[in-house]
């Protein structure tokens, strides 16, 4: 209804993840950097966590659009799976028929598939959503799948998406130490900052042909950040109701009074647990628009002063960051060692029989050139990721840790 009134080509704030609407906020830009680095490594685990509605699924949908046809992708949205169920679900995600087979047969089918894809020049990525639902046994089975190799070449990489409790489980469980060592990149999606709400809304509106109508009253987006906590899905819910109210009342400007009415209505919905309005922020029906603006400004100032995270969260982030740095250094050093060994082999071959081994030496030199080119790309990725980590530490006031 409102899309017709305002002349939009479609509804811009639907809740279904759509990569066409992907907005590169600060936290989503960091997540893409970590994903890019992780996929460039071609092994291990990449972990992305975030609150419900923080944009994990949209991020992955955007990522998938960037992958070429040399990547085979399996996707799993988990429930409470045990180890054996995880193996069967993973197999089916790649289109393998393992119905009625036991765990060993399902594993054999996965391994055969991974080898065939590698021989055909393809890489395999398993995307596991809602990872917080998995048992320790299921996570261990995923780690075992990462052991499959063709020579020294890893056959499977896994992207784990989950809510904050998965981040805490991964950081604190002794049983997941081996999996934790294989995490080569991790990022937690934070809420959007107050200054990102308006660009986010305009980005989605521009996608559907917004011509400036409706306009938005000054201070409205600051108040919206306070009401939604900066969570994209909650913003979408509020914006949908706002635009509907604007269309019903035939308004060309969305003002603070309309936003307050929507917040009040949503806070009073019977499905309170699904309400996008922060339970700590109840609207005052008698509040004037000017009061709302003043309160929003005070809230923004308080948020800027209260930038220090709780000690427990800092410890979890510090541990994951240190694990990422260690994984980066290990991956980088591993390739350097391979190149050094190959160069020694070439030297020995040339010294043993220069004429007979000329062809072999040339083949190895070609392989060295390829590896060195990839190493240069990885070094650029590493430097970028480390810069982001240091910037993240400094933002949180932890220069000593950085």
192 three-class SS: coil
- Rounded to whole angstroms, the Cα distance separating 188 from 202 reads 25
- Rounded to whole angstroms, the Cα distance separating 216 from 218 reads 6
Residue 384 has pLDDT above 70, yes or no: no
pLDDT at 268: 76
Residue 399 has pLDDT above 50, yes or no: no
Least confident of 241-255, 276-290, 372-386: 276-290
For residue 240 the two structure tokens come to 């949908």
For residue 69 the two structure tokens come to 């046809």
Each residue's pLDDT tens digit, 47-71: 999 999 999 999 999 999 888 888 9
For residue 27 the two structure tokens come to 């936290």
For residue 21 the two structure tokens come to 């609407």
Burial class (CB in 10 A: 0-12, 13-18, 19+), 226: buried
| Contact by Cβ (8 Å): 70, 121 | yes
pLDDT at 40: 87
When pLDDT is cut at 50, 70 and 90, the band that residue 392 belongs to is low
| Contact by Cβ (8 Å): 215, 48 | no
Residue 86 has pLDDT above 60, yes or no: yes
When pLDDT is cut at 50, 70 and 90, the band that residue 1 belongs to is confident
When pLDDT is cut at 50, 70 and 90, the band that residue 321 belongs to is low
DSSP state at residue 214? S
When pLDDT is cut at 50, 70 and 90, the band that residue 402 belongs to is very low
Question: Which residues make Cβ contacts (< 8 Å) with residue 163, sequence separation at least 6?
Answer: 49, 50, 51, 52, 130, 132
- Rounded to whole angstroms, the Cα distance separating 239 from 14 reads 10
The pTM score is: 0.69
pLDDT at 322: 55
215 beta partners: 253
């Amino acid at each position: 209804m409102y899309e017709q009134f305002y002349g939009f080509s479609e509804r811009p704030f639907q809740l279904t993840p759509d990569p066409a609407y992907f907005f590169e906020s600060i936290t989503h830009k960091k997540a893409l950097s970590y994903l890019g680095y992780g996929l460039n490594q071609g092994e291990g685990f990449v972990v992305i966590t975030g609150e419900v509605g923080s944009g994990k699924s949209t991020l992955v949908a955007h990522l998938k659009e960037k992958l070429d046809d040399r990547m085979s992708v399996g996707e799993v949205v988990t429930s409470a799976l045990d180890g054996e169920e995880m193996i069967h679900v993973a197999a089916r995600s790649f289109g393998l028929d393992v119905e009625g087979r036991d765990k060993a047969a399902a594993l054999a089918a996965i391994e055969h598939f991974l080898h065939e894809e590698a021989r055909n020049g393809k890489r395999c990525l398993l995307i596991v959503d809602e990872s917080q639902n998995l048992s320790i046994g299921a996570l261990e089975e995923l780690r075992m799948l990462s052991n499959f190799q063709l020579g020294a070449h890893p056959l499977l990489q896994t992207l784990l998406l989950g809510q904050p409790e998965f981040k805490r489980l991964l950081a604190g469980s002794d049983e997941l130490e081996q999996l934790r060592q294989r995490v080569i990149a991790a990022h937690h999606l934070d809420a959007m900052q107050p200054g990102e709400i308006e660009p986010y809304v305009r980005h989605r509106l521009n996608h559907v042909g917004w011509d400036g109508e409706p306009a938005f009253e000054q201070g409205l987006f600051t108040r919206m950040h306070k009401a939604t906590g900066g969570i994209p899905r909650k913003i979408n819910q509020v914006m949908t109701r706002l635009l509907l109210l604007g269309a019903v009342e035939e308004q060309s400007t969305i003002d603070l009074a309309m936003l307050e009415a929507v917040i009040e209505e949503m806070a009073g919905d019977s499905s309170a647990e699904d309400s996008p309005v922060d339970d700590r922020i109840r609207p005052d029906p008698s509040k004037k628009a000017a009061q709302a603006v003043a309160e929003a400004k005070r809230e923004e100032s308080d948020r800027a002063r209260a930038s220090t995270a709780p000690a427990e969260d800092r410890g979890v982030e510090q541990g994951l960051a240190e694990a990422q740095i260690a994984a980066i250094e290990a991956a980088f050093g591993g390739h350097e060692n391979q190149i050094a060994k190959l160069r020694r082999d070439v030297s020995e071959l040339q010294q043993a029989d220069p004429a007979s081994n000329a062809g072999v030496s040339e083949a190895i030199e070609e392989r060295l050139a390829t590896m060195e080119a990839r190493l240069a790309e990885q070094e650029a990725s590493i430097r970028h990721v480390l810069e982001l980590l240091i910037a993240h530490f400094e933002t949180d006031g932890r220069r000593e840790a950085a």
